[in-house]
Amino acid sequence: MIGWGDVYKVVAAMAPLYFALGLGYGSVRWWRLFTADQCDAVNRLVACFAVPFFAFDFAARIDPFALSYRVLAADALSKLAVALALAACAAAASTRCCGSGGGKRGGGGGFSWCITGFSLATLNNTLVVGVPLLDAMYGKWARDLIVQISVVQTIVYFPLLLLAFEVRRATTAAAAPPPPPTGTDDDDVEDGAAAAATAAAARRSLWPLVRAVWLKVARNPNVYAGVLGVAWACVTNRWHVETPSIIEGSVLIMSKTGVGLSMFSMGLFMALQDKIIVCGAGLTVLGMALRFVAGPAATAVGAFALGLRGDLLRCASSIHHDVRVRKGVRPARRNTQHSGYIRDTGVITGVDRWKKSSELQSSDANAISSTSDILLMDMVGSI
């Protein structure tokens, strides 16, 4: 039975997070201390410095030679189950659209919903909220476990999700009609058609997609933080080397700002919105179902399949119940006119940036590409 002492531990771990969020919200909504440009600057500070040092600090403290491989395998299995379920739903929706004469648009929209649904159901906010919450509930072993999951999520799953975004962008661009030729000569028409076909074939090939993903990952400081943290953890645990105090102190002074500034930045973003929940009741319910039902259910399936029981199972389920806190990355001004991208501030529901499939036009290709950059920074920067 859960006692009042256990409840107090959880509340004591979560209250400081929302205190920082409330300060950020009040700084814009009530006290008018920050402009929109200044909020962007705070968010950039969080994305480029505070969170990367925070992630490096935790990644460097794990023992890579004593990982919980069964838990990591269960996490991978749950993500695979969600991906297959979403793919089946998208295929069924595409079949229905084909039957009604709207196959091409329905298929592209289905893929977009698969990406969003996968991120909501499986990619959780493990460090900023998960660490203090599970540390209070279960202790140090749960904290170490969630750090392992977060490192794998940063290095493996987020680049894969970004690859899915690039595939979506390429297929959308390839499906766009070729631009009309400027001349009236038949040779010009044939040359234009050949050029369009060549460009479409190039967009469909794998290498440009992989290259685009690699360039985006290479520009993200949080990926560097995760990789370097694991590399340093391997060195310290293999040869029993202690981190020099001058390096440890330099990392800690920035790492300690990670949680507070992340929540503060989230409050800034919430205050800049017209409404706290802007996606509507239907998408809010759908997002909550994916976050609090589909995600934990898939985790339970993966855990049972690999024989996880007891506190390990409860801890894994708690990871997928944590609140979805975002840093509040604001879209670039050139993309604010795309009203289909609906950003729920997701502190409770976890509904992120949704794109209505009916509004996904070929002219949105550039917006999709830039949005994938924002989403990767958003997700990786707030793990």
The verdict on pTM exceeding 0.85 is no
- What confidence tier does 46 reach under pLDDT thresholds 50, 70, 90? very high
Give the mean pLDDT of 60-86: 91
pLDDT of res. 326: 39
Query: According to the model, what pLDDT value does residue 192 have?
Result: 56
* The pLDDT of residue 310: 81
Distance CA 94, CA 15 (A): 45
What is the spatial distance between Cα 290 and Cα 138, in angstroms, rounded to a whole number? 25
| Nearest Cα residue to 171 out of 206, 213, 216, 217 | 206
Instruction: State the average pLDDT over residues 301-324.
Output: 74
Distance CA 158, CA 383 (A): 10
Question: Domain 4-178+221-380, what architecture?
Answer: Up-down Bundle (1.20)
Mean pLDDT of 56-66: 91
Q: What is the pLDDT of residue 42?
A: 94
According to DSSP H, which parts of 244-350 are helical?
245-255, 258-272, 280-289, 295-305, 311-321
Q: Which of 322, 321, 325, 323 is nearest to 267 (CA)?
A: 325
104 vs 27, 229, 288, 369, CA distance in Å?
A: 46, 44, 29, 20
Residue 227 burial (C-beta neighbours within 10 Å; 0-12, 13-18, 19+) = middle
**Mean pLDDT (whole number) for 123-135:** 73
Three-class SS state of 26: helix
Q: What are phi and psi of 159, to 5 degrees?
A: -60, -35
- Extract the runs of DSSP E, i.e. beta strands, from the chain: 341-343, 353-355
Most confident of 2-6, 29-33, 337-341, 363-367: 29-33
Mean local confidence (pLDDT), 110-128: 80
Residues pairing with 354 in the sheet: 342
Mean pLDDT, residues 123-129:
71
Residue 98 binned pLDDT confidence (cut-offs 50, 70, 90): low
Q: Give the pLDDT of residue 376.
A: 37
Nearest-angstrom CA–CA distance, 134 and 318? 8
Average pLDDT, integer, range 100-117? 67
Q: How far is CA 40 from CA 45, 51, 222, in A?
A: 9, 15, 18
Task: Report which of residues 347 and 288 the model is more confident about.
Answer: 288
The C-alpha angle with vertex 135 and arms to 25 and 349, in degrees rounded to 5, equals 40
CA distances (Å), origin 186, targets 172, 191, 200: 28, 9, 21
Secondary structure percentages of the chain, helix, strand, coil, to 5: 75, 0, 25
Q: Would you state the pLDDT for residue 255?
A: 92
348: left (phi over 0), alpha (psi -120 to 50) or beta: alpha
C-alpha 24/C-alpha 33 separation (Å) is 10
pLDDT tops 50 at residue 183 = yes
Residue 339 binned pLDDT confidence (cut-offs 50, 70, 90):
very low
Assign 315 a pLDDT band (cuts: 50, 70, 90).
Answer: confident
What is the enclosing helix (H) or strand (E) of 169? helix 158-175
Handedness of CA 89, 94, 99, 101 (dihedral sign): positive
pLDDT of 176 > 80? The answer is no
pLDDT for res 170:
79
Record the tokens describing residue 189, joined without a space: 């028409």
pLDDT digits (tens, 9 = 90+) for 237-268: 999 999 999 999 999 999 999 889 999 998 99
**CB hemisphere CA count around 278 (13 angstroms):** 19
d(CA 308, CA 300): 9
pLDDT over threshold 90, residue 288: no
Domain boundaries of the chain, sorted by first residue:
4-178+221-380
Per-residue confidence band for 307, with pLDDT thresholds at 50, 70 and 90: confident
At position 266, the amino acid (one-letter code) is M
Biggest CA-to-CA distance, the chain: 82
